[in-house]
Structure 1
Amino acid sequence: MTSKPIHHVQLSRMEEARRQTQRQLKLIDRQVLRRITSFLPQLARRQTGYRRGKSPDTGSFLERYRNNLAALTAERQPEVDALTRKLARQDAAIAAFRTRFEPVGDVAQPREEV
């Protein structure tokens, strides 16, 4: 009977480590979003208004925005890739742990469709 609480503690530790990895990925996303948001005023200043009958070019603003977003994302991509791989390993480890230590009766039975 002592093995069940030990397995529960191990599983909860593994799940907490997975949640921490997810939080790190979300933090990186928020940091990139915050940085691109801080660039918006600089990007908008380059737009020219109506001069000599020409309308402002919104396509160039979107192009500058996308280029800056791609640069910021590429800057953090190695870290995101490493965390994504770590998350995949953690998912596989949790699934293997559950299949190994969960009792057969606790596994949810699939419903038969009528």
Structure 2
Amino acid sequence: MAPTANRSAQLSRMEEARRQTQHQLDLIDRQITRKMTVLIPLIGRRQRGYRRGKGEPPGAFLERYRANLAALTAERQPEVDALLRKLARQDAAIAAVRSRSGVSGDLAQPCVEA
């Protein structure tokens, strides 16, 4: 009975560690979203001094938005990559423990590439 309880406790700890790793990934995503929300008014419609009557190209705002988003994402990419690798290792370890102990069930949230 002790080995079963030990495996169950180990599996529970592993799943909690996986949830924390997923939480860190979600936190990074929310931080990027928050920064982009703050930047939207700054990258919004730009007036060009004496040429105010002339509108800007239709895709200019979207271009600036994508460039800023790419820059913010690139800043955090090494951290995101490391967390994704850690999440994949945790998924594999949890699956191995489950197969050894005969416990069935899927992970609460499968690993998704960001």
What TM-score results when the alignment is normalised by the length of structure 2?
0.82
User: Contact 2:11/2:97 (CA < 8 Å) preserved in 1?
Assistant: yes
Q: How big is the shift at 1:47?
A: 4.8
Task: Describe the shift of the 1:10–1:61 C-alpha distance in structure 2 as closer, same or farther (beyond 3 A).
Answer: same
Q: How big is the shift at 1:45?
A: 4.3
User: 2:25 and 2:92 mapped to 1: Cα distance?
Assistant: 18
Query: C-alpha deviations, 1:30-54, integer Å up to 9, x for none?
Result: 0000001111111014256961xx4
User: Contact 1:50/1:56 (CA < 8 Å) preserved in 2?
Assistant: no
User: Contact 2:43/2:65 (CA < 8 Å) preserved in 1?
Assistant: yes
Task: Describe the shift of the 1:77–1:47 C-alpha distance in structure 2 as closer, same or farther (beyond 3 A).
Answer: farther
- Cα RMSD over matched residues? 1.9
User: Contact 1:15/1:94 (CA < 8 Å) preserved in 2?
Assistant: yes
Q: Match for residue 100 of structure 2?
A: 100
Alignment of 1:5-44 (within 5 A): 5-44=5-44
| Runs of 4+ residues over 6 Å off in structure 1 | none
Identity of aligned residues (%): 63
Alignment of 1:61-76 (within 5 A): 61-76=61-76
